[in-house]
Amino acid sequence: MKKFVIFILFLSFCGGDSNSQQTSEQSESNEATKQSESNEATQNEEEIIDHMTLVDYPAKLYFAGDIPTEVHGRAEFAFSIIQEKLGKYPVEVYFVGTDENEKDNLSNLFCTNREKAGNFDPNDLRLNFRDFDDCMNFIDERYFSEYLRSSLETEQRGFQASGNKGHNGQAHQRYHLLVWSKPIGFEVENGEGYQIELRGVFHEYWHVFQIAHMDFYDCSDKDVRSTCEYNFDPPDYLIGGTWLQEGTAVFKEITILQEQIKIGNLNNIQVDILQEFNNQYFDGQRVMEQCPGMSIRDITYSDPCRRAVYGWGAWAAAYLTHKVNDPYIFENVYYPELKKLGDPELVFANTFGMTRDEFFADFDSWIYLSEEERKIVIPVVEENTGKLYYP
Residue-wise DSSP of 204-242 = HHHHHHHHTT---EEES-TT-GGGEEE-SS--GGGT--H
Q: Which of 282, 287, 292, 334 is nearest to 308 (CA)?
A: 287
Sequence spans of domains, the chain: 18-230, 242-389
Which 3 state secondary structure label does DSSP give 285?
A: helix
Ranges of the chain with pLDDT below 50? 1-46
Distances (CA, A) of 369 to 114, 274, 312, 373: 51, 15, 13, 6
The DSSP string of 361-391 is HHHHHHTTS-HHHHGGGSPEE-TTT--EE--
**Which positions ≥6 away from 265 have C-beta within 8 Å?**
5, 81
Half-sphere exposure of 169 (CA within 13 A, CB side): 10
Which residue type does 380 have? V
Question: Which pLDDT does position 234 carry in this prediction?
Answer: 66
The pLDDT score that the predictor gives to residue 56 is 95
**What's the confidence (pLDDT) of residue 47?**
59
Q: If DSSP codes are grouped into helix, strand and coil, which group holds residue 337?
A: helix
Q: Strands 60-63 and 380-381, how do they pair?
A: unpaired
At residue 240, the pLDDT reads 92
pTM (2 decimals)?
0.86
Q: What is the pLDDT of residues 219-259, one digit of tens each?
A: 888 778 778 888 877 667 899 999 999 999 999 999 999 99
3-class SS at 332?
Answer: helix
